[in-house]
Chain A
Amino acid sequence: MTSDNNASARYFTSVCYSADGSCVLAGGNSKYICIYEISQQILVKKFQVSFNRSLDGILDELNSKNLADGGPIDVNDDSGDEADFSANLPGARRGDDGSRKSRVEVMTSQVAFSSTGREWAAVSNEGLHVYSLDDDMIFDPISLTEEITPSAVRSNLKNEKYSVALLVSLHLNEFALVREVLEEIPYGSIPLVVKSIGPEHIERLMQFVSKCMLDSPHLEFYLQFCLEMLRAHGLHMEKYRNSFMRAFRSMHRSVQIHHDELKRVCDENRYTLDVVEDQTQITLDRK
């Protein structure tokens, strides 16, 4: 037994702090990527990068049935395409003597957190894996009481109590519901609604708004939300800058994406118009 073949001789080759600095993400020459909480030094979560048995180092116990004297038997090497490219040298009577690696080992060469704090990525032998909080809905309610139900949200919406409806939906923390409420709020009452949301919910609201903005056609509506949030709660945000960093970044990212898209279209239109203008000028001159 050497350090090479010892299954416990795995180590981290890349570490990275999360955007808020509370956790450390670590990946190495193993199939696992670990997230540690730093202040209490506990393992929060362990991700397995891949379950692909075509890679080496996935199974915890190997089956001796798949192992011959010369190396691992490839299960699928009957008369397929692979058989056309045999590893043997032409004319060789014995098998291949080389101690070449036939399988790729599983390992993570680098991990990094996104600055928005909503996702992180890892580079492994299989490619780039992006793990995101946004894709799967996580039910994470806060200070729930019996009155806080989706039907309460809807009845409040019906009675035009928008800020109450928004608060209740934020308590429930369900994306679809928050989005429904957000889109129901009339444009004119955005400033009032935003002002009535307490500072303890404003970060959550920012995250939801920036997420909604990404794929929504109501760009101005959400931009108005962003503006009002910054206006109404700017001082609070400035004071607790660190805790708002993630929300700021995701908001910035959403706005930036829209800006880039619009800019391209606008530029294109402007240049096309310029060309058309010039062309008409030229034709007029000719006449």
Chain B
Amino acid sequence: MYTSSGNVLLSPVSNRVQVVDLLTHTVRTLSCEARSNIKTIALSPDDRLLIIIDTENHAMLVNFHRSVVLHRFTFKRNVRICEFSPCGAFFAVTCGNHVQIWHSPGLRREFAPFVLHRTYTGLGDSVISVQWSSDSSVIMASSRSGTVRIWTVQTVDSFEPVTLSGHKSSVVGAYFEKITPGSGGRLRKVYTVSNDGSLVSWNCVYSDETKDDEQKKEFMDASSSAVNFFGGMGNELFSSSNKNGLLSDNTTSQAQHLLKAKWEVSARHYFHQDTEVTATNFSAANNLLIVGFASGIFGLYELPSMSNIHTLSLSNQVIRTVAINDTGEWLAFGCPSTQQLLVWEWRSETYIIKQRGHAYGMRCMAYSNDGVVVATGGEDGSLKLWNTSSGFCYCTLKSHTAPITACVFTNSSVVLSSSLDGTVRAHDLHRYRNFRTYTAPTPCQFTSLAVDPSGEVVVAGTMDPFHIYTWSMQNGKLLDILTGHVGPVSELKFHPTRGTLASASWDGTVKIWDLYKREGEPENIKHAQDVVCCAFRPDGKHMVTGTIGGLLSVWNVEDCKLLFEIDGKHDIAGGEFFLFLLRSGLPFPTLY
């Protein structure tokens, strides 16, 4: 997850990237899909290129505005983080316990747009975070082994990579302090945050600081000529970025300053939270550090004084990722286990957005009559209402205690949901509350639900006694129990104009009931296999049913005659399952 120009938030959701616009409150999903779940994304500073890397280390280079895939590439080792340099000329990728710097590609299509610049080694365990200095000349990486290493991007003569080791456990984040004019244009401080909840700030002491200025200048000139000599082709890029004004010409890059630097621990701080630090982020411009903990608490600290501005418990789940926008006002948090995405404005202490998915996935959905709202029922028993034009969930109704099996809108602003907990509940969309509950005399699990076109009668089919229960919408009284099916009722649908009800069942029949006639047997339409779904045409003349053989049959409703059959078995077939291969005992087809 990542903020780009301040008000747009990118959030990877399984193998797609969602773009959340915080100003207009809309969500859109990029049309490109990664091959598997996304591990990390990186956006170039000019917002044009997006690099998406998935769990199989397969990278995609995407034009962000058009969401067109420009190039695909597979990294050899496990990639955890990808980060663009602030000047946009490079991007850094962590490959196992190495860090690789690649030249960032242009927007033109090339045969091989990714060119490796350098590989950095020396860290004992897999690399967790990568950070660029603000002038893109120095890179710092922290590893699981508790050490942090600092390298220069271009070769600098007689520079030895710096290793900072002072943590007991893996270092979650390492950050450069912002370079201020008061500090002589030099890097003064580095902060490292480790897993066990400690922060170490490192001071950088320059040995030439005591010498007089002339000597200093001479040394600078010598070292810059050395860089030009050794830099090679990459230096051209570097000098071009110089011209762009990202680096003013009269200052030397941080890489040369570091030649004479000595590092020492200046302070140690502890967060005192009793849990692991799982995510950190640092806004160098505002000197703000956000730390997310495994207990769902986050802390906002001002550095270097390490004063706690804010501590808040967001959820009871692990915060896996945090981000902060350029102005330092909006903090974004992601908790994957509850599928939560939160944006918190810390100055006014308000939520900008607070979105949460269904904890174990969705099961059913329904469009409202005007097509503006979509209701979804989840396995966690919650019913959510989504706005189709903005893509935001604006209401969560949590009244069920078991998975919701069906939901349906009535004519007015009422949404009904049936659940495996044995209730059908009606929710009011004005006050967002459950105003009526329908239950059966004996406990049973409802699998299907329908409301008649006038919105007077609610019917629900069950899993176990195979009955269909009908209630009055108004007073919640049980009107009738329709019996006759000998298998679970899989789907119920009302005829759009007449008062008849079609019920599809696993016993291989579809029965058409006339609810307003007391006597008479229901019309019986027999199928060869179990019926799992049925639907009426909007004008009510035809009905389509689907069986577990993959057969779709279209029936004339007047005389219950079969009109057409579509064998969809071959259309829908495809896709192998790992587990089925194992279960059948024949793992692979053999040649002999």
Contacts and interface: CB of A to CB of B under 8 A. Distances in A.
Contact of B15 (A16, A51, A245, A249): A51
Contacts of B391: 130
Contact of B574 (A30, A52, A126, A242): A30
Contact of A75 (B56, B357, B546): B56
Interface stretch (B43-51, B235-243, B251-259, B561-569): B561-569
Nearest to B588: A64
Contacts of A57: 575-577
B370 A13 contact: no
Nearest to A71: B582
Contact of B388 (A9, A75, A130): A130
A259 to B, nearest CB: 11
Contacts of B533: 12-15, 26
Contact of A10 (B13, B537, B550): B550
B552 A101 contact: no
A46 B536 CA distance: 22
Contact of B14 (A21, A56, A126): A126
Interface string A58-79: 1111101011000110011011
B544 interface: yes
Contacts of B374: 121, 128, 130
B52 interface: no
B126 interface: yes
Contact of B363 (A8, A114, A123, A257): A123
Contacts of A125: 361
B78 A12 contact: no
Select the residue from B14, B37, B568, B582 with max chain A CB neighbours within 10 A: B568
B372 A52 contact: no
B15 A7 contact: no
A4 B581 contact: no
Contacts of B36: 52-54
B549 A11 contact: yes
A225 interface: no
**Which of A4, A11, A20, A36 gathers the greatest number of chain B CB atoms within 10 Å?**
A11
Nearest to A115: B371
B535 A15 contact: yes
Given A51-B33, A54-B14, A64-B587, A7 B573 contact: yes
A112 interface: yes
B126 A26 contact: no
Given A10-B569, A64-B587, A67-B581, A109 B364 contact: yes
A249 B370 contact: yes
B579 to A, nearest CB: 6
Contacts of B568: 11-12, 26, 34, 36, 43
Given A41-B564, A112-B365, 5 more contacts: A28-B546, A43-B571, A62-B576, A79-B126, A101-B579
Interface of B: 13-15, 33-37, 39, 55-57, 78, 80, 96, 125-126, 144, 357, 361-367, 369-372, 374, 376, 386, 388-389, 391, 532-539, 542, 544-550, 552, 554, 564-566, 568-584, 587-588
13 contacts: A11-B547, A11-B572, A17-B536, A19-B538, A46-B571, A76-B56, A102-B578, A116-B371, A123-B363, A123-B376, A128-B362, A245-B538, A253-B371
8 closest A-B pairs by CB: A5-B580, A57-B575, A52-B15, A8-B573, A114-B371, A12-B546, A11-B550, A54-B36
